[in-house]
Amino acid sequence: MPTDISKILRKQQAAILERWMTNQLADAGLRDDLMSNEDLRIESEELVAGLVNSLNNNNIDNAESGDFDHVLEILGGISISRARQGYSPKETGLFILSLKEAILELLQDEIKDIKELYPLTVKVNRLIDQFSIVTFETFIKGREEVILRQTDEITEISTPVIRVWDGILALPIIGTLDSARTQVVMESLLTEIVETGSSVAILDISGVPTVDSLVAQHLLKTVSATRLMGADCIISGIRPEIAQTIVHLGIDLSDIITKASLASALQYAFRSMRLEVRKAGTSAVKY
């Protein structure tokens, strides 16, 4: 009669957990900066209980059995959580693989007949390996979600629309412009033009490392969209090397107002709006 693995695991559930915890806590790569030992134990205990209650001789060969739905749900939650906490794929994979080690050690202690032990350990190996693959896949999806969210947040932070004066907006652009980011820039700028009723918008490209034909096209699209909203658009931050590149590429910016600095762009905006700036107790500085 084959060994009933479910009986062994239920009988030794506490021992499996202790072996597993001992292995994890002894690991030099333990990330106690990301998770406390108490939380690690709670997480481990939940997974051990789920596996022990699900595994039996009938499903040990089938990791896709519906009996393991709860186990896969637990693994999915752990993987997503670890992806968000900053664990590496290796650290997440070793978490589940170290459980396999604990189970195999216990089976070796419980089953003395090598003819019974060997096929059972092979099946356990394959099963846990399948669970490891699911863990990796879920972890990668979770990490991708984190990266996309962080990318969106960085994009929003790096494209702030600033109201520098009544009727004057400034949008400092930092980094390279691509199609997706240009869309964000245009949406932010046009929305702010509508909300504030501004008539002048300054695109400052001091923080753009290089300007090639693609970046120039994105700038032209933004300028065109701004004009369609009834606002004048000024491009500032034109450094000497960028000016040379634009000329070399044959890009025509002749119908666009360009300035070397944001200060120069503001001066032009003040003049176009017939504004005067003066220090207290002095005569007006006209632009």
CATH class of this structure's domain 162-276: alpha beta
**pLDDT higher than threshold 70 for residue 141:** yes
Q: How far is it, in rounded angstroms, from Cα 81 to Cα 216?
A: 41
Query: Residue 41's pLDDT is what?
Result: 92
| Domain extents in the chain | 5-152, 162-276
Q: Where are the beta strands (DSSP E) in the chain?
A: 162-165, 168-174, 200-207, 232-236, 257-259, 276-277, 285-286
Backbone phi, psi, residue 202, to 5°: -110, 120
pTM: 0.58
Predicted confidence band of residue 284 (pLDDT cuts 50, 70, 90): low
Predicted confidence band of residue 94 (pLDDT cuts 50, 70, 90): confident
The domain made up of 5-152 has a fold known as: Globin-like (1.10.490)
Predicted confidence band of residue 213 (pLDDT cuts 50, 70, 90): confident
Query: 162-276: same fold as 5-152?
Result: no
Q: Span 254-278, mean pLDDT?
A: 87
Q: How far is it, in rounded angstroms, from Cα 143 to Cα 92?
A: 12
